[in-house]
Amino acid sequence: MNEINLMKKLLYLLVMPLILAACNPKVELTSAGMYPNYQVGEIVNLIPVDSLTYGDVIAYHSYIPGFQERAFKRIVGLPGDTVRFQDQQCIVNGKKCEWVFIRKLFYEEDECEEYCESLPNGMKDYRGGSIDSRSQGCVAADSIIGKGVKRK
């Protein structure tokens, strides 16, 4: 009888962390693309997505070979919106997003310019060197893992 109880306890100790992790998913940020609102290395809690609005940040499965499996980006456009880029300018539904040049960065042999961009809802984020919808296209709804919430 003791062996059965011990096995139950071990199973519980091994399975519970997995269940808790699945119920409260998190993502660790590995790039400065969301700075200054989110920092490199920050752990962000994810909640289920019931609705999305401009400025929300989401974690989603990224399917580009050779790049991160999960991406964490801010919502700039919603279904039905027209989002386009012209001369490095993000234009949402015909309205240009304001941006300012921050600095020039060098990654190994690549050169990257860093900008701070004001999105339609007033949020600001850096966008230099980010792999996002400008190169990936739209994010499919079924690839969204969750919506990010800041820890308090």
Residue 100, strand partner residues: 116
Q: What is the pLDDT of residues 109-133, one digit of tens each?
A: 666 677 777 776 667 666 665 667 7
77 three-class SS: coil
CA angle 120–25–11, rounded 5-degree value? 175
- pLDDT category at 140 given cuts 50, 70, 90 is confident
Beta strands 95-96 and 70-74: pairing type?
unpaired
User: Which of residues 130 and 93 earns the better pLDDT score?
Assistant: 93
Q: What is the pLDDT of residues 4-38, one digit of tens each?
A: 777 777 766 666 555 655 566 788 887 766 766 77
Cβ contacts of residue 78 below 8 Å, gap of 6+? 52, 53, 54
The pTM is what? 0.67
Q: What is the pLDDT of residues 42-78, one digit of tens each?
A: 888 898 888 998 888 898 887 766 665 778 888 888 8
Query: Does the structure show a pLDDT above 80 at 86?
Result: yes
Q: What confidence score (pLDDT) does residue 84 get?
A: 85
- pLDDT category at 96 given cuts 50, 70, 90 is confident
Sheet holding 95-96, edge to edge: 83-86, 89-92, 95-96
